[in-house]
Amino acid sequence: MKVKVCVGSSCTLLGSMSILDQIDDLKDIISEDPDNYNDEELEVEAIKCLGFCKDTDKNVAPVVVIDDEPMYNATSQTVMEKIINTIRK
Ligand code: FES
């Protein structure tokens, strides 16, 4: 599973660094409990402005892209839920 977290200025201002921290914590939780998660590797990338904020007048930040599917106005909770629901056995 590939997770891209935007760390451009708009997304950082609205909390993307905290989402990155939470994903790091989740990676630790997964590695300590391998029986409950599938073997899929969780690849996390921090990217400076994914461009979504420039395509629209709407406020979309923070943006997180999970396996090519963008999540707008992402929160730690919505991102964790999406990741866990996908990789939990
Ligand atoms: S700063 Fe995040 S999409 Fe532009």
Q: Give the pLDDT confidence of 5-58 residue by residue, as tens digits.
A: 999 999 999 999 999 999 999 999 999 998 999 888 899 999 999 999 998 889
pTM of this prediction? 0.94
Residue 10 is predicted with a pLDDT of 95
Q: Determine the Cα–Cα distance for residues 67 and 48; give it in Å rounded to an integer.
A: 18
Q: For ligand 1, what atom is nearest to the CA of residue 9?
A: 1
CA 89–ligand 1 middle distance (angstroms): 32
Q: Is the CB of 53 under 6 A from ligand 1?
A: yes
Residue 34 is predicted with a pLDDT of 87
Per-domain boundaries in the chain: 2-87
Measured N-to-C along each axis, helices 16-32 and 76-87 cross at an angle, to the nearest 10 degrees, of: 30
Residue 13 is predicted with a pLDDT of 97
Residue 21 is predicted with a pLDDT of 97
Q: Is the CB of 11 under 6 A from ligand 1?
A: yes
Q: CATH number of the domain at 2-87, please?
A: 3.40.30.10
CA 9–ligand 1 middle distance (angstroms): 7
